[in-house]
Amino acid sequence: MINEEIAHIFSSIADILELKNDNPFRIRAYRKAALVVTDLAEDADKMIEAGRLSGVPGIGKDLHAKIEEYVHTGKIATFEELKKEFPQGVLDILYIPGVGPKTAKLLYETYGINSIEKLEDYANSGKIKGIKGIKEKTVANILKGIALKKSIQGRFPLGTALPIGETIIGELKSVKGVSTIELAGSIRRRKETVGDIDILVTSDDPGPLMDRFVNMKEIERVLSHGSTRSSALLRDTHIQVDVRVVEKDSFGAAMAYFTGSKSHNIKLREIAIKTGCKLNEYGVFNVKNNKKIAGATEQDVYRALGLQWVPPEIREDQGEIELALDHRLPELIIDKDIRGDVHMHTVYSDGDRTAEQMAQHAQGLGYEYIAITDHSQSLGVAGGLDPERLKVQIREIDGLNQKLKRIKILKGMEVDILSDGSLDMDPGLLDRLDIVIGSVHSGFKQPKEKITMRMVKAMETGLVDVIGHPSGRLIGERDAYEVDWDAVFKSAQNMHVAMEINAYPLRLDLTDAMIKKARTYGLKFVITTDSHDPNQMRYMSYGVSVARRGWLGKDDVVNTKRYKDILTWLKGDR
Ligand SMILES: [Zn+2]
Ligand SMILES: [Zn+2]
């Protein structure tokens, strides 16, 4: 969790520097470092101790020293100083999508707007319309941004909450007396945002467990400290964590109860009543004699009700209960089904490592293949490839495929779908590649018809195999652009184009609901991490979770195929 803390400070420093109009290179270095630290596979303090943090790309000497300072003192002096210059409310305003540092600063310095509430009030009452440098459109964007922020308020992206939950479990597991400890709640269902972290435990001696929990260094404030239940707020994120100790013979019933969803559980209770039983967090009971029939495991609970056990990701009362009663639940994809990660970047565009380094890391994860898919040239900020550099990369990968024995590299590109729907690369060169991902990276605010036309036109070239991060949304930061999905999916169906499920925690794009819709068109999917650094490849399981929430099985996902078979599929034999 120390990595998240440091990353949070680095991005806050970048925010304040932006408000101060500081050197853009310095700002970018902090932003980049925040991402690098978030993605580290190991805790920064352990890496410093072992001397492994120096040499990590993106962490220069100065930043290394700051991380060391945090590890040793729990603070970074530069940040403590900078924090004094602007109230927290101004920084909150900066985080609103659609408000840049210039606007935030202007509003604060001219009108003393120092909180989101105040800003909303000003925007709604038309008071900021007349301000020089603020257009009418900006006001609309500000209000939209505030609404977007509010829509996830009090909820946290799965990518923030899950690692924290796993860290806490990792620490509490070792406490004497603990036998079983698991995450419940929406985090277990892998919802894309979660409200809090629920943990259930069985223990012969709950006292020490509760003590250990409320004294964890990650905790900022203890809300309650009981003998079998405690809750607390975490540092920085202020996520609430609840730890409950339950009896062993009720653990399964409690897991079902606290995992939800609410509507799923209501249906379960109705089924229990129909069969002369009662279901609650302690177990399944026979109503006549109040005898307990099941409760120790979830499997027992579902079985006692005449149901197949339902995977947590699909407990949403969307038809899963009816299928479970018939014992006809689909077999959902699992992490191990994935044979390769087919969207990633290298130093040829905005990635951190070479194709060979990415391949070696992927080999360590047990993959059969990867695809290197760097950006095309119109994405200037990412240093996208022009045709000449793409040719060089193609040769390099051919060479690597001769050299590397245990993993194959597919030649690919994430090509921009330009604002007129054309592709940002010579068709002849795209044709030479194994996999082409077409992505929209610009013109997000175009009208619905226009964006739809771009995507359809791109697919109709017959050169695109996959549509990358199809909706373009970033959780809590950017809404999906507007698209006529029926038209896009219909075209994808005709052209045999797969939809990407981008596993990068802020994206999770397509969403579970969109996956279900795409599937009604018979579409196939690829689950990818869009890694810009080897450490990001571990996010694959987030994509698999979304796929499971979208009811996908192994056969729906193209990169579960063996190397030879995915090549055949990509070559057009679909
Ligand atoms: Zn992209
Ligand atoms: Zn990408």
Which of the ligands is closest to the CA of residue 472? 1
Whether residue 311 contacts residue 529, with contact meaning beta carbons closer than 8 Å, is answered with no
Residue 551 is part of which domain span? 335-570
Q: Provide the token pair at 484.
A: 């006529």
Query: How many helices, marked H, and strands, marked E, lie in the chain?
Result: 24, 17
How far apart are the CA of 469 and the centre of ligand 1, in A?
Answer: 7
Where residue 147 sits, what CATH number does that domain have?
A: 1.10.150.110
How far is 267 from 464, CA to CA, in rounded Å? 43
Nearest Cα residue to 367 out of 528, 484, 508: 528
β-strand pairing of 240-245 with 196-203: parallel
How far apart are the CA of 25 and the centre of ligand 1, in A?
Answer: 23
Give strand pairing partners of 231: 224, 242
Give strand pairing partners of 300: none
Of 325, 346, 364, the residue that ends a domain is: 325
Q: Provide the token pair at 424.
A: 């940002």
How far apart are the CA of 365 and the centre of ligand 2, in A?
Answer: 20
Residues 260 and 204 in one domain: no
Where residue 207 sits, what CATH number does that domain have?
A: 3.30.460.10
Residues 134 and 236 in one domain: no
Residues 479 and 420 in one domain: yes
Q: Provide the token pair at 326.
A: 């018939």
In this structure, how many other beta carbons lie within 10 angstroms of the beta carbon of residue 54? 11
Of 217, 245, 273, the residue that ends a domain is: 245
Residues 394 and 437 in one domain: yes
Of 302, 325, 348, the residue that ends a domain is: 325
How far is 302 from 325, CA to CA, in rounded Å? 9
Whether 375 is in a domain gets the answer yes
Residue position matching structure tokens 């109709």: 460
How far apart are the CA of 482 and the centre of ligand 2, in A?
Answer: 20
Whether 78 is in a domain gets the answer yes
How far apart are the CA of 405 and the centre of ligand 1, in A?
Answer: 29
Nearest Cα residue to 185 out of 226, 225, 237, 243: 243
C-alpha to C-alpha distances, 371 to 345, 362, 436, 466, nearest whole angstrom: 9, 10, 10, 12
Residues 495 and 350 in one domain: yes
How far apart are the CA of 235 and the centre of ligand 2, in A?
Answer: 32
Residues 436 and 487 in one domain: yes
Residues 418 and 538 in one domain: yes
How far apart are the CA of 525 and the centre of ligand 1, in A?
Answer: 16
To which H or E segment does residue 234 belong?
strand 229-234
How far is 144 from 316, CA to CA, in rounded Å? 29
Amino acid at 215: N
Whether 330 is in a domain gets the answer no
Amino acid at 144: K
Whether 419 is in a domain gets the answer yes
Where residue 270 sits, what CATH number does that domain have?
A: 3.30.210.10
Whether residue 239 contacts residue 233, with contact meaning beta carbons closer than 8 Å, is answered with yes
Whether residue 297 contacts residue 237, with contact meaning beta carbons closer than 8 Å, is answered with no
From first to last of its 574 residues, the chain has per-residue pLDDT tens of 788 889 989 988 998 998 888 998 999 999 999 989 988 888 899 998 898 888 888 899 999 999 999 999 988 999 999 988 888 888 888 877 777 788 888 888 888 888 888 888 888 887 776 677 777 777 888 888 887 777 666 788 999 899 999 999 999 999 999 999 999 999 999 999 999 999 999 999 999 999 999 999 888 888 889 999 999 988 877 889 999 999 999 999 999 999 999 999 999 999 999 999 999 999 999 999 999 999 999 999 999 999 999 999 999 999 999 999 999 999 999 999 999 999 999 999 999 999 999 999 999 999 999 999 999 999 877 789 999 999 999 999 999 999 999 999 999 999 999 999 999 999 999 999 999 999 999 999 999 999 999 999 999 999 999 999 999 999 888 889 999 999 999 999 999 999 999 999 999 999 999 999 999 999 999 999 999 999 999 999 999 999 999 999 999 999 999 999 999 999 986 6
Which of the ligands is closest to the CA of residue 413? 2
How far apart are the CA of 555 and the centre of ligand 1, in A?
Answer: 25
Nearest Cα residue to 550 out of 499, 520, 511: 511
Residues 162 and 146 in one domain: no
In this structure, how many other beta carbons lie within 10 angstroms of the beta carbon of residue 265? 19
How far apart are the CA of 159 and the centre of ligand 1, in A?
Answer: 19
Whether residue 57 contacts residue 353, with contact meaning beta carbons closer than 8 Å, is answered with yes
Residues 306 and 211 in one domain: no
Whether residue 520 contacts residue 488, with contact meaning beta carbons closer than 8 Å, is answered with no
Residue 178's Cα: distance from chain center in Å? 30
How far apart are the CA of 411 and the centre of ligand 1, in A?
Answer: 17
Residues 466 and 552 in one domain: yes
Where residue 378 sits, what CATH number does that domain have?
A: 3.20.20.140
Residues 539 and 457 in one domain: yes
Which of the ligands is closest to the CA of residue 349? 2
In this structure, how many other beta carbons lie within 10 angstroms of the beta carbon of residue 440? 24
Residues 273 and 383 in one domain: no
How far apart are the CA of 527 and the centre of ligand 1, in A?
Answer: 14
Which of the ligands is closest to the CA of residue 470? 1
Whether 348 is in a domain gets the answer yes
How far apart are the CA of 156 and the centre of ligand 1, in A?
Answer: 23
When divided into structural domains, the chain yields a total of 4
In angstroms, how far is the first alpha carbon of the chain from the final one?
Answer: 44
